[in-house]
């Protein structure tokens, strides 16, 4: 299962919540139980204290009865009430050990002492009290104090465990919340990074697609050998409503012998050099086009017929200079036809006029330029 996506959240969150609920529920039950034990120990301590007071009251009741001249029947009734309550307390105590036997032995001595007082043997009763009653009461009192202290200690331990359970539960809850927040934040950041990476990849893909489309458009409208715009680009230029000053059609002279004698590679090298010289001869706003084979065109963007003638002269001069091709020096020259534009003639017609002018200069002996003039062409 993928830990960074929605499947992880659907699987992790319910489990963590269930563990947290189970933990808190267990701690709550343990806390209730421990506090209940603490209250039970407190009740035990209170009962032991009450038992101690009643035992002490039994001892003092006999002498008080003697001083008040109460009848033995009244004493027996009061003792019965006290001892019935003592039995109830003893039965409710757990883990009291031999406390009941100690109380019974104490009661036996008190009954003997009470019998002596009933017949007027005060001296013997006092002697019995000093000899047996007081030591047994002291021993019984120590047992009661020990049991009461044990109840207090048990209550303190129960409270301590209850408080410790609460603290541990709070620590566990805080730790669980912290872990959940940390994991959620980490997954959130991972999700953000994944989204950002996806967006980055999409941008790269779109940029690549745009570059590919631009490359396809460039390759469709440019000559692969010279890098110049091709005939399609020239047609698009005129279709877009361009209004040039003139159109020059350049046909290379003596190119075929170079291609035949030195090879096609040398011919391609020569065409690349010709393209570079045409770009240098044309103006910065002019467009140099390779129409195919050894034919080129120059679209003179601004000016008038004189500007077209100036560019034609520069082209003829540039291509008349020798070229270094395949380790040899060759001369080719160029015939240039100039078709001035009048703002109304379309691109196809301009190209036809430039071709006619170029044909005239070819017929006249090559290596020059000719401007399209209707009478001249008609005579030709």
Condensed to tens digits (0 to 9), the pLDDT of residues 255-311 reads 999 888 889 899 999 999 999 999 999 989 999 999 999 999 999 988 888 999 999
Q: Answer yes or no: is pLDDT of 95 > 70.
A: no
Question: Per the domain annotation, does 361 fall within a domain?
Answer: yes
Question: Per the domain annotation, does 176 fall within a domain?
Answer: yes
Question: Per the domain annotation, does 291 fall within a domain?
Answer: yes
My answer on whether 263 and 127 are in the same domain is: no
Q: What value does the mean pLDDT take over residues 355-364? A: 91
Question: Per the domain annotation, does 207 fall within a domain?
Answer: no
> Where residue 248 sits, what CATH number does that domain have?
3.30.70.270
My answer on whether 155 and 16 are in the same domain is: yes
My answer on whether 146 and 260 are in the same domain is: no
My answer on whether 32 and 179 are in the same domain is: yes
- Of 189, 214, 248, the position where a domain reaches its end is 189
β-bridge mates for residue 252, sequence order: 334
Question: Per the domain annotation, does 196 fall within a domain?
Answer: no
Beta strands in the chain (DSSP E): 246-252, 287-292, 295-300, 323-325, 328-330, 334-340, 368-371
Provide the number of structural domains found in the chain: 2
My answer on whether 48 and 184 are in the same domain is: yes
- The pLDDT, as a whole number, for residue 375 is 55
My answer on whether 257 and 151 are in the same domain is: no
My answer on whether 184 and 285 are in the same domain is: no
Q: Answer yes or no: is pLDDT of 55 > 60.
A: yes
My answer on whether 146 and 278 are in the same domain is: no
Q: Is 24 strand, coil or helix?
A: helix
pLDDT band at 4 (very low <50, low <70, confident <90, very high): very low
- Of 157, 189, 221, the position where a domain reaches its end is 189
Q: How many residues does the chain have?
A: 380
- The pLDDT, as a whole number, for residue 1 is 43
Question: Per the domain annotation, does 210 fall within a domain?
Answer: no
> Where residue 11 sits, what CATH number does that domain have?
1.20.120
Question: Per the domain annotation, does 253 fall within a domain?
Answer: yes
My answer on whether 368 and 308 are in the same domain is: yes
The better pLDDT of the pair 196, 132 is held by 196
My answer on whether 184 and 255 are in the same domain is: no
CA angle (269, 272, 276) in 5-degree steps: 140
pLDDT band at 141 (very low <50, low <70, confident <90, very high): confident
Q: Answer yes or no: is pLDDT of 377 > 50.
A: no
Question: Per the domain annotation, does 197 fall within a domain?
Answer: no
Measure CA 207 to chain center: 26
CA dist 50 and 295 (Å) reads 129
What are the two backbone dihedrals, phi and then psi, of residue 296, each rounded to the nearest 5 degrees? Answer: -130, 165
Rounded to whole angstroms, the maximal C-alpha distance in the chain is: 181
My answer on whether 181 and 239 are in the same domain is: no
- The pLDDT, as a whole number, for residue 62 is 62
Question: Which residue range forms the structural domain that includes residue 16?
Answer: 6-189
My answer on whether 169 and 253 are in the same domain is: no
Q: Answer yes or no: is pLDDT of 122 > 70.
A: yes
pLDDT band at 241 (very low <50, low <70, confident <90, very high): confident
- Of 189, 214, 249, the position where a domain reaches its end is 189
């Amino acid at each position: 299962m993928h830990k960074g996506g929605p499947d992880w959240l659907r699987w992790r969150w319910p489990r963590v919540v269930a563990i947290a609920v189970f933990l808190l529920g267990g701690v709550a039950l343990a806390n209730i139980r421990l506090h209940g034990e603490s209250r039970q120990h407190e009740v035990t301590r209170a009962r032991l204290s009450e038992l101690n007071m009643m035992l002490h009251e039994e001892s003092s009741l006999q002498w008080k009865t003697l001083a008040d001249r109460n009848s033995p029947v009244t004493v027996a009734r009061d003792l019965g009430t006290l001892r019935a309550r003592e039995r109830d307390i003893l039965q409710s105590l757990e883990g009291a050990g031999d406390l009941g036997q100690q109380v019974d032995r104490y009661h036996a001595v008190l009954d003997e002492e009470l019998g002596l007082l009933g017949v007027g043997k005060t001296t013997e009763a006092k002697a019995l009290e000093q000899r047996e009653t007081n030591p047994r009461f002291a021993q019984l009192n120590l047992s009661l104090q020990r049991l009461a202290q044990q109840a207090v200690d048990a209550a303190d331990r129960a409270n301590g465990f209850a408080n410790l359970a609460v603290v541990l539960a709070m620590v566990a809850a805080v730790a669980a919340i912290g872990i959940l927040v940390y994991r959620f934040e980490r997954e959130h950041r991972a999700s953000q990074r994944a989204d950002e990476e996806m967006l980055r990849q999409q941008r790269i893909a779109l940029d690549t697609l745009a570059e590919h489309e631009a490359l396809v458009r460039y390759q469709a409208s440019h000559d692969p050998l010279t890098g110049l715009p091709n005939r399609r680009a020239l047609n698009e230029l005129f279709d877009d409503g361009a209004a040039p000053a003139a159109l020059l059609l350049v046909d290379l002279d003596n190119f075929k012998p170079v291609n035949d004698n030195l090879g096609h590679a040398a011919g391609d090298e020569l065409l690349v050099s010709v393209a570079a010289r045409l770009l240098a001869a044309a103006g910065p706003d002019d467009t140099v086009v390779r129409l195919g084979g050894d034919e080129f065109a120059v679209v003179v963007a601004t000016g008038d017929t004189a500007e077209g003638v100036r560019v034609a002269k520069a082209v003829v001069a540039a291509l008349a200079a020798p070229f270094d091709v395949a380790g040899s020096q060759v001369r080719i020259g160029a015939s240039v036809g100039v078709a001035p534009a009048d703002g109304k003639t379309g691109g196809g017609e301009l190209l036809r006029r430039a071709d006619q002018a170029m044909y005239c200069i070819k017929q006249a002996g090559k290596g020059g330029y000719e401007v399209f003039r209707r009478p001249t062409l008609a005579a030709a």
